[in-house]
Amino acid sequence: MNDKPIKLKSKNTDPDIEAKMLTTLEDIKNKLEDIKNKKLGLQHYPIRQLIKDTEAFGKALNKQGLKTNQIRKFLDSVNRIKTEIAVKTRDMESESGVISLEQIPKIETQVVLLKQKIDYAAAKQKAVIPLQKVMDIAIEQVHDVEDFERLFQLVESIIAYHKAEGGE
């Protein structure tokens, strides 16, 4: 993964707003890195904090000029995986109560391949790069069904706030 600092190309030229957006993007990336460094799953991103962070992040992505169609294939894949997990885990049980993605290898492969979809979108459109940096770290933290559910909530929340801010 590329650890270069995030650079923004915003529609907004106000340096204070630009600095705030950069701080927001770095904050969410740092929280995900902390989860990674502690070897925790994504489910350990507290939901209230996730909502607070994604509100600022979604707004920043809109100000930067991200368009939903630039990440459509990624979003479609996340939704498709969520549906597939629901179908495949309906009758599954686990001694620990946690269903690992290793128990459903096809799903695990699809989750890992989400990285290539967001990386491809970022290669095509620079406005996707901050989202790519966050998603690359988040996807690495998905080890079981609960982690995937938190990934879904993360993506859904970012897009919801992006749209609420007027994103197309």
pTM for the structure as a whole: 0.85
Among 109, 96, 121, smallest CA distance to 148 is for 109
Mean pLDDT of 140-150: 94
Band (14; pLDDT cuts 50, 70, 90): low
Q: What is the pLDDT of residue 11?
A: 52
Instruction: Give the list of residues 6+ apart from residue 10 with CB closer than 8 angstroms, or none.
Output: 17, 18, 21, 63, 64, 65
Cβ atoms of 151 and 110 within 8 Å: the answer is: no
Name the average pLDDT for the chain: 85
Mean pLDDT of 138-164: 94
Which residue blocks in 4-96 are alpha helix, DSSP H? 15-37, 47-64, 72-89
The CA–CA distances, whole Å, from 141 to 12, 59, 121, 130, 168 equal: 33, 24, 21, 18, 29
Tokens (6 digits) for 106: 């096809």
